[in-house]
A and B are shown apart, each in its own frame.
Chain A
Amino acid sequence: MRVTRSTHSSDGTTPFHCVGLTVVLLIALAATTAHAGRPYPFDETGYLGAATLMPEWSATMGRERAQAPLLDACLADEDRCPSYYRGLRRLLTSAATLDGYRQISLINHYVNRKRYRNDRTEQIETPLAGEPLTYRSRWATLEEFVRRGGDCEDYATTKYYLLRRLGFATDDLRVVVTWDGESHGYHAVLAVRFDGEVLLLESDNTIRRGSRHRYRFIYSINENGIWDHAGSQDPQPAKETSA
């Protein structure tokens, strides 16, 4: 009996079919990941210097420290709470009993429920141009945000303050300013290093992991430092205006 070897399988597929299928799958994979960003680099890449080098941020940290004793007193004794801190007291005392991820989730939702309020702007002399221009508003402290609300960087900083209150380390938290390729505007999120992952806490209630975002990271800050991410990623922002 003569046995003929054939490259055809019993169902009629050939190696060419397999190669073709692989190419199609690779193209499909590339298409689905085309809009993914790079994971946030939670390391010392781009370290610019101490947080005190950013005057507005440094001043906000100073006001935050000055206002902290009032919240400390409120947490220790409810009778010493101003009325605007009663809700916050309930939040922090309840959150203290939760595990880390549920704390993150609770704080993210709490802050995102707050009133969005666009920054007021000020006229200042820029040190570079020497001409007045509309300057971004200051960052808000926790008390200022609780009483007045704020905009997206205030949402991110408030999550930062609250997670610090719950015992998260400064080194595991950074407020990250990003360029949002979808809305073509600057946006701020809180990056949290937790349980071996980097989580991005969004103002739309999502918690993004890894590269599941469309951001180009511009810079990050926390109480300790400033990190510059420009130059470590691909396309430049098209313009420097608000969304």
Chain B
Amino acid sequence: MRTLIFAALCIVTGAVWADTTTAVVKVYSLDVKERIQNLELIDVTAEKPVDEQAAKLEPDLEAILDDVAALEEAE
């Protein structure tokens, strides 16, 4: 009888513990999901004009970009 009661107690305790763990996991998943949805709602549209103080490209790289621009303009 004692063994039976002990086994029943173990089962109940295990079930309660498992349920709590599942609940925590669910809350965590929901938090992450909501956070990601909120992040994706951020409107990112800032426009920054070219900074004249920024380092200039080396001439050979400028030449590549000029070629590329010519090809794209010819499209």
Contact = CB atoms under 8 A, between A and B. Distances in A.
Nearest to A93: B64
A51 B7 CA distance: 45
Nearest to A243: B46
Contact of A151 (B36, B44, B53): B44
Nearest to B57: A109
Interface residues of B, number: 35
Contacts, number: 140
Contacts of B12: none
A242 B38 CA distance: 15
A177 B48 CA distance: 14
Contacts of B41: 126, 135-136, 240
B64 to A, nearest CB: 5
Interface residues of A, number: 57
Contact of A186 (B45, B61, B68, B69): B45
A75 to B, nearest CB: 14
Contacts of A95: 64
B19 to A, nearest CB: 24
Interface of B: 32-51, 53-55, 57-58, 61, 64-65, 67-69, 71-72, 74-75
Interface of A: 48-49, 53-57, 83-84, 86-88, 90-91, 94-95, 98, 102, 105-106, 109-110, 112-113, 116, 118-119, 126-128, 134-136, 151-153, 177, 180, 183, 185-188, 202-207, 218-219, 226, 228, 240-243
